[in-house]
Amino acid sequence: MPSAVRWRNVVRLIATVMLVVSVGACVLILGVGDASPRFLLTHIALPWVIATLCAIVVILATVFVRPQKAVGGVLLTAALPDLTQELYRLLEDAGEEQLGSQLQNLRIVDRCRCSDDFCSTFYVQPKPKGSYGPMHRNVPLTPERGMLILDVVEDKIVAVEVLYRNEVGKKLLDLMP
């Protein structure tokens, strides 16, 4: 279960317990019947109303406010560990350590669907409709074989262009037919 869903369930549970306890305490005290009206108003009614309203707001917020859908995909380090290590080393050599630090959290969300047999490009963010825009830049790397070019938008890796690396293409095809 994703941590955001777990957190929402914990908050909802706490709010529900607060609501049940405050209603139960109020019924218990009113059932005794020997409390003065002033005591009931100041010590029971006002705190009970505040606790109940807070609990209701929290419950409604966790029910109706939906978290942003996370991008799924396969962890790059798990799918292509050798390529990940090579990218890290090449990024260090190119002075792009900040991009290298992103590699451990990248998820492959899709592969290039072109029909070129030499293309093994994959996306770590959903492919845009059209261009990446003015904040896009390419980071060409110098591997010993093939070609590696990172597509970067606002200093975040969005795609990895892998050319002439058939072993990468075969793994991608297995992961995403």
This prediction's pTM? 0.59
**3 token code pair:** 């941590």
Instruction: Say if residue 108 is in the same domain as residue 39.
Output: no
| Number of independent structural domains in the chain | 2
Instruction: Say if residue 33 is in the same domain as residue 105.
Output: no
Instruction: Say if residue 8 is in the same domain as residue 83.
Output: no
Q: Is the pLDDT of residue 36 over 70?
A: no
Torsion of CA 105, 110, 113, 119, to 10 degrees: 20
pLDDT tens digits, 153-168? 999 999 999 999 999 9
Instruction: Say if residue 130 is in the same domain as residue 84.
Output: yes
Is 69 part of a structural domain of the chain?
A: no
- Dist. CA 169–CA 164, nearest whole Å: 9
Domain limit, last residue, from 36, 64, 92: 64
- Dist. CA 96–CA 155, nearest whole Å: 10
- Which of these, 127, 145, 144, lies nearest to 136 by C-alpha position? 127
- Domain of residue 110, residue span: 74-175
